[in-house]
Amino acid sequence: MSAVTYPTPQSQLEPAIDRGEEQLLEISMGPQHPSTHGVFRMNVVLDGEVVVRLKPVFGYLHRNHEKIAENETYLGSMPYTDRLDYICSITNNWAYALAVEQLAGIQVPERAEYLRVITGELTRLQNHASLIGFLLQDMGSSGTPLMYAFREREKILDLFEELTGARMMCNYMRFGGCRVDMPAGWLDRAKKVVQEFPRFLDEYEQLLVGNEILMERTQGIGVLSRELAINAGMSGPMARASNVSYDIRKVDKYSIYDRFSFRVPLGEHGDVYDRYMMRFLEMRESLKILNDAMRDIPPGPIVDPKMRIRGFRPKPGEAYGRIESPKGELGFYLISDGSPNPYRYRVRPPSLINLTVLEDLCIGLNVADVVAILGSVDIVLGEVDR
């Protein structure tokens, strides 16, 4: 046994509100606060301008996604997974399809794997781009940076629309493959978008790397230690900014990610600045993957021909499938009892679990820093509340 001490949950150390003459101020940030990225509330206790306690309050968007999916066929909840993290619907589809494929032992054809990687990495690009836009917007650089980011995101959404018929609710994956193949000329247009993307990154990175105001506001703010990041289940860019070298694309080697060479960027400080730089560096790595995948994509079927769509009943058993979604580890846990609908259906939401440390990061800082920290966690309330 090692003698490592692990951090205790902060909420055990509740500060006394009553301090004699001085008074603490308890305010409710949200659910309609513009910086909370949706209907999310934080009960913040302030000592002057300094945060003493912070309790996140969830559930405003709760519709019990899991219960609905348990009363629905396996395929029937595929479009519904789009609505979890509505910024990146394709990776949600992918995680669900992966879990069902593990549960039923379905093989995915080569071309479909490439299509999944291409659309998945495009999703990562547009998620990270818009996230950085949101950060700058939250920190007061109103308008322009967000619009620049959305301009790039729009190009990718146009590609999605052409491929799947919908810009955000793509509903693209099927068990054992993808729903539709690329239309004529799509690959060339996608290649063009990918080739032009680095120019946007170079231009945009100047805003983040060299901007002194931004560095003042983000460096050394919201520092997350490596130990706590692992213990509190952080995943995705949030964990990697704290020097946790864990990328499920590398660890699980799901799909065909072992064929591409890409690096996993790591941060050293674990502050807000590092978390944003992670997104930049990851976009550059995604571009590498995209270039390789678009070059190598083979012809062939896009769905396993043995897969039966109607009357799909996996044999009794269970499976936990997970992927590296742009937000972190997105997992689906399914239990089948042999009937057409899952006996248990569980989503492991990276956004919710990444919020576990929100209080630890914010205590002792100003309210203005809370906004920056929350932005750097990258949450989407459709997934947090489910």
Partner 1 sequence: MNLDTIKSELQANVPGCRLEIVLNPSPSAQHSLLVDAEHGFAVARFLRDASDLRFDFCSNVTGVDWPSKEISAKVKVKKIVDGVESEVEEIQKSSTQGYLEVVYHLYSQDLKSGPLPLRMRTQDRDRGVHLPSLTPIWRSAEFQEREVFDLFGVIFDGHPDLRRILMWDAFQDHPMRKDYVDPDDFEYEPTAHDQVLQRAGQHLSQAGGR
Q: Using CA atoms, how far apart are residues 30 and 180, in angstroms rounded to an integer?
A: 41
Write phi, then psi, for 50 (nearest 5 degrees): -100, 135
Residue 103 binding partner 1, by CB under 8 A: yes
Residue 31 binding partner 1, by CB under 8 A: no
Nearer to partner 1, 11 or 32 (CB): 11
Nearer to partner 1, 192 or 315 (CB): 315
Residue 6 binding partner 1, by CB under 8 A: yes
- Which tokens belong to 74? 């396996």
Give the binding range for partner 1 (CB under 8 A) out of 99-107, 139-147, 262-270, 371-379. 99-107
Q: Nearest approach, Cβ of 318 to partner 1 (angstroms)?
A: 6
Return left, alpha or beta for 37; rule: phi > 0 is left, psi -120 to 50 is alpha, else beta. Answer: left
Residue 353 binding partner 1, by CB under 8 A: yes
Write phi, then psi, for 108 (nearest 5 degrees): -110, 130
Q: Using CA atoms, how far apart are residues 122 and 156, in angstroms rounded to an integer?
A: 7
Residue 357 binding partner 1, by CB under 8 A: yes
Nearer to partner 1, 177 or 331 (CB): 331
Looking at residues 178 to 197 of the shown chain, list those that interact with partner 1 (rule: CB under 8 A): none
Q: Using CA atoms, how far apart are residues 340 and 74, in angstroms rounded to an integer?
A: 7
Query: In 50-174, which ranges are continuous DSSP H helix?
Result: 65-70, 78-81, 89-104, 110-138, 144-164
Nearer to partner 1, 6 or 299 (CB): 6
Bond before 326 cis per omega within 30 degrees? no
Nearer to partner 1, 104 or 194 (CB): 104
Give the binding range for partner 1 (CB under 8 A) out of 19-27, 75-83, 100-108, 203-211. 100-108
Q: Residue 101 in contact with residue 242, Cβ under 8 Å?
A: no
Q: Are strands 22-23 and 25-29 parallel, antiparallel or unpaired?
A: unpaired
Give the binding range for partner 1 (CB under 8 A) out of 79-87, 96-104, 206-214, 275-283. 96-104
Q: Residue 189 in contact with residue 226, Cβ under 8 Å?
A: no
Nearer to partner 1, 121 or 247 (CB): 247
Looking at residues 322 to 351 of the shown chain, list those that interact with partner 1 (rule: CB under 8 A): 322, 329, 331, 333, 335-336, 343-344, 346, 348
Q: Using CA atoms, how far apart are residues 63 and 66, in angstroms rounded to an integer?
A: 9
Q: Are strands 344-348 and 328-336 parallel, antiparallel or unpaired?
A: antiparallel
Site string for partner 1, 308-327 (x = CB under 8 A): ------xxxxxxxxx-----
Q: Nearest approach, Cβ of 322 to partner 1 (angstroms)?
A: 7
- Which tokens belong to 364? 């002792």
- Give the number of other Cβ atoms within 10 Å of residue 305's Cβ: 8
C-alpha 94, offset from chain centre: 13
Give the binding range for partner 1 (CB under 8 A) out of 163-171, 209-217, 223-231, 366-374. 223-231
Among 244, 272, 302, 373, binds partner 1 (CB under 8 A): 244
Residue 228 binding partner 1, by CB under 8 A: yes
Length of the chain: 386
Residue 45 binding partner 1, by CB under 8 A: no
Residues that bind partner 1 (CB under 8 A): 1-2, 4, 6-9, 11-12, 58-59, 62, 64, 66-67, 102-105, 228, 230-235, 244, 246, 251, 314-322, 329, 331, 333, 335-336, 343-344, 346, 348, 352-353, 355-357, 385-386
